[in-house]
Amino acid sequence: MAEYKAPGKCMICGGTMHVTRLKCDTCESELSGSFAPCRFCSLDPQNLAFLEIFIKNRGSIKDIEREMGISYPTVRNNLDNLLTALGYGKEQPQKLTKKEILDKLAKKEITSADALELLEECEEDD
């Protein structure tokens, strides 16, 4: 029997879908009610893929950058999008100081291109 992923959002109006019936494959018992979907089940494919990579790399942004072939700011952007999708709200990411950016560059945690991009953001705020 084919198994399909239950949609988290209604295809008609975009509202939240709820599971209303469960069935045991072994004894065929059934349970009806209104069950909230799991938070991760309602993630779109892009957020779900990022979450899997994030977990696989134990949250190491450097390893995520390498695996996905994306920059530090893009990893942070994806993480912010994931947090928002999980309902944690889009908190303003803490801006790095110029010294913190240069320290990250010295430790090779970010590339020189990432450092330039982050430094430009710092200058825009000054």
Contact 51, 82 (CB under 8 A): yes
Residue 9 is given by DSSP the state: B
Contact 110, 104 (CB under 8 A): yes
Domain boundaries, the chain: 96-126
pTM value is 0.56
pLDDT digits (tens, 9 = 90+) for 88-116: 876 556 778 889 889 888 988 888 888 88
The packing angle between helices 61-68 and 72-85, to 10°, is 100
Give the phi and the psi of residue 32 in degrees, each rounded to 5. Answer: -115, 150
Q: What is the separation of C-alpha 36 from the centre of its chain, rounded to a whole number of angstroms?
A: 20
pLDDT digits (tens, 9 = 90+) for 13-32: 888 777 888 899 899 999 99
